[in-house]
Structure 1
């Protein structure tokens, strides 16, 4: 059945009603925001469960629900180790960051830095946030748009504009409160959609394949290897990168990134904010585990059902019209032969004697897929239109469109678009708040009214929304979209976290030393990333250590120099 015919009227109705409800509801309930406190801090009356869901929705973008199942399909459950540092980070932020932010009554995280250091350090941290989060906002729009455009044959440019425009409507109108209240609805839709998807996958497995047998089948193919205790720096996801690099990344993201800080600054009290983050810390890792498990079950499903050699729907047409068509057809035939052999072996479950055979067949299938990707890359090099050979981000949407009944396809598409809207709304809200408070208000010397700054925040939200759409329109797919967002964050987050840790704990270090150290650190991190000397998660730890060490050395040198001068004068 053709993909176009799979999206029936009922799917359009479910999709449209869901998205329109979110936009109308968010706009209506927050239409009376008139003060800066209402618009930027949500009136400081947000309950802990709203904070927890809002924090979770901000991080769980469409990329999470498109890329994570594909990550598990190809590489197994090991990606969950990336989140092991999150609960640790939540505890530290609850104990250290939240009490300070609430005591100082700040609108943004970066206000605190001026009081502790100086204006230029505050502005530098704010600008680093604006650069990386501005890019990420574009990617959170682009991620679902590029994939939906490919599989549904919708126009990419129009999709980018529609997703961005829907978010802009209620985010400009209601500010932080609009983001918070809509994210509750979006997370309900997301949880419901993923549970239904899991149930549908399991119900479409052969009658004799129980959940335990499905896990055994996945395990025989190496998909259930959750923990990796190796110290191999070439391995991106291990227990150590999760606990060490992941903790620093999560500390930076949840403690210093305004898109997250703004969620819990809207809390009714310190306790409500802390409970919201603890709620997120307890639920986030199981949620990611479950999303990865969905991807693993999709893998099991395709052990009994035909799967394409490459899940990107544009590949087949591109190959068919190239000189590599015959070569690709040979690979397809061998891929199908391997699938058929595995079906026979797995028909009675996984026997111990057959595990090595299955492992050998999977290894050969990976070799075939690698050869297919090489062919696609050769075609891409000579084609005017980019053809993405890495199909991780297409796996889950392919399953949805080809195997779910009417109505559920619309619901799952609503899940993907809701996730895109929720994270993008948080980002635009935070970008506008930081621009208005840390740059505009701080550098405009004349006194302005509350109404003026609310209007300015709305205009900045609109401007960042338009910029995010433009970034989405010129973006290109990376190795894996969820990795791309985390890579962008890792380049900047460690440096910013180090600045905040210096502010909290190293009292003798002053503004000039921190500013110089931060600039030097950012240059070094760019070089390390460009030269590919470390896995990207370790950039968070490196950036944090570098800025703290360099700032401490500079300040100590300056103090010693002043001490010698004083002794000389005496």
Structure 2
């Protein structure tokens, strides 16, 4: 399909205009930096909860999760199962800490504990994580819209990116939050519509889907063997806990929202509302992936269409024979990200396609706009005011936020363009986020938990942790003759081991210093 029906185009156009109008509406309130970053602290907890939920439910969820379930099983759903524990820790310890500190930046505390280097390191990690996140989201939305419109992925990213930049720059955090409330509702409706259409089009209905899924082990949560070299249940559970703890506990996207509520209890309530919503809805996307697997297994001609499409993209100048041979060799995991767009193109009726596209766009826009606003806030507070110009007027601060928001929106677009051609959008996001977030979380936990760890211990622990993360990330590049030096762990363990390396080394060094000091005093 190279041209959407007029009704679908109208729905998409109306949605985009509506988002821009919201930005224009809230632009009247943005008179200072506090309003732009904190929305003056008057947003109700339920709206923040829906906003955080919408940020979690990105286009990676819309496309990556069904694609992952189609290509493998429900192993990745364990990530969602880890959310309640991470939410409890964050609600119990982190939210009161941030609210009592009054600092809009999540990373100011690190400078108080360990010095300016710690704050700068965390800021750099956060900004790199945001670029990876925004890039993967841009990539995900372009992947689906390319199948629907025929336009190039780069062109789609630019058009959507401009719309996001407009309403985020104009409206600030308050516009981001209220658009995400709307987007969260649209996303949920879109997911339910897709699920209903897949089940309706499946010969034999739900019973046949379950039969095929059970036969091909599509409902498995992964092996329960304590093996950390593969994506077992325990690997994803550990990765999910640490990543969700990073999200709820120290990601500027979420920390900034805690300051927009009226109280600690409202901020805590927003976290739990997100968990209550995200758990069942994320399960729906895994169910969609399994349903699509059963549907395409019973429609081999459609499955072959997808295989040929992927093969043609990988061999743009290949002969028909070569493309056919490659298509025949492709596994379900090779074509997972293309399944949802193909189903939308071929099986969703006019009118509903526009709504589904709007849902996917809303999934992308909520996460990207949130990342832009948070990145701009961190840049303004932790970089510009810290190192360039400490004393800023209210008008100057607001101007810097406008410029930084635009800058990070453009950088996110360029990152998305650079990702064109990756095999799995979900895999690439998990890998990059694990690399950048692991060291940041380890340092932050060390500062919060250990009151005895000092600047030197934190610096040494961070260097050791970074070496561990780099080794685990790039050890596959080690030549075969030195294969014994490669990391045996699954890539999702980078986040876990990187975090624990910094945290535990810092604890041990602080204890060693204490014991050494005690022995010295006794000797004297």
TM-score (norm 1): 0.84
Match of 1:4 in 2: 2
Greater displacement, 188-197 / 127-136: 127-136
Question: Residue 78 of structure 1 contacts residue 225 of structure 1 at CA under 8 Å; is this kept in 2?
Answer: yes
Match of 2:138 in 1: 141
Match of 1:523 in 2: 467
Deviation, 1:304, is 3.1
**The one of 315, 318, 322 aligned to 1:322:** 318
Match of 1:218 in 2: 213
User: 1:161 and 1:327, CA in 2 relative to 1: closer, same or farther beyond 3 A?
Assistant: closer
Question: Residue 83 of structure 1 contacts residue 242 of structure 1 at CA under 8 Å; is this kept in 2?
Answer: no
Instruction: Show CA shifts across 1:442-490 (max 9, x none).
Output: 2245522222212211111111112222222222333310121121111
Deviation, 1:564, is 6.3
- For the pair 1:392 / 2:336, whether they are aligned, the reply is yes
Instruction: Show CA shifts across 1:381-433 (max 9, x none).
Output: xxxxxxxx932211001001100110111111111111111111011111111
User: 1:231 and 1:567, CA in 2 relative to 1: closer, same or farther beyond 3 A?
Assistant: closer
Greater displacement, 250-259 / 221-230: 221-230
Match of 1:20 in 2: 17
Separation in structure 2 between the aligned mates of residue 111 and residue 330 of structure 1, nearest angstrom: 56
- For the pair 1:546 / 2:501, whether they are aligned, the reply is yes
SS of the equivalent of 2:221 reads coil
Deviation, 1:257, is 1.4
Deviation, 1:303, is 3.1
Separation in structure 2 between the aligned mates of residue 253 and residue 330 of structure 1, nearest angstrom: 43
Deviation, 1:513, is 2.0
Question: Residue 22 of structure 1 contacts residue 186 of structure 1 at CA under 8 Å; is this kept in 2?
Answer: no
Match of 1:65 in 2: 62
Separation in structure 2 between the aligned mates of residue 453 and residue 73 of structure 1, nearest angstrom: 47
Match of 2:97 in 1: 100
**The one of 43, 48, 57 aligned to 2:45:** 48
Match of 1:456 in 2: 400
Match of 1:233 in 2: 228
Match of 2:450 in 1: 506
- For the pair 1:275 / 2:236, whether they are aligned, the reply is no
**The one of 330, 344, 350 aligned to 1:369:** 330
Match of 1:245 in 2: 239
Separation in structure 2 between the aligned mates of residue 61 and residue 474 of structure 1, nearest angstrom: 19
Alignment RMSD (CA, Å): 2.4
Please, which runs of 5 or more residues in structure 2 have no aligned partner? 477-486
TM-score (norm 2): 0.91
Please, which runs of 5 or more residues in structure 1 have no aligned partner? 336-367, 374-388
Question: Residue 58 of structure 1 contacts residue 260 of structure 1 at CA under 8 Å; is this kept in 2?
Answer: no
- Which has the greater radius of gyration? 1
- For the pair 1:409 / 2:409, whether they are aligned, the reply is no
User: 1:10 and 1:151, CA in 2 relative to 1: closer, same or farther beyond 3 A?
Assistant: closer
Separation in structure 2 between the aligned mates of residue 331 and residue 498 of structure 1, nearest angstrom: 43
User: 1:307 and 1:448, CA in 2 relative to 1: closer, same or farther beyond 3 A?
Assistant: same
Question: Residue 249 of structure 1 contacts residue 537 of structure 1 at CA under 8 Å; is this kept in 2?
Answer: no
- For the pair 1:447 / 2:391, whether they are aligned, the reply is yes
- For the pair 1:34 / 2:28, whether they are aligned, the reply is no
Greater displacement, 505-514 / 427-436: 505-514
Separation in structure 1 between the aligned mates of residue 468 and residue 218 of structure 2, nearest angstrom: 36
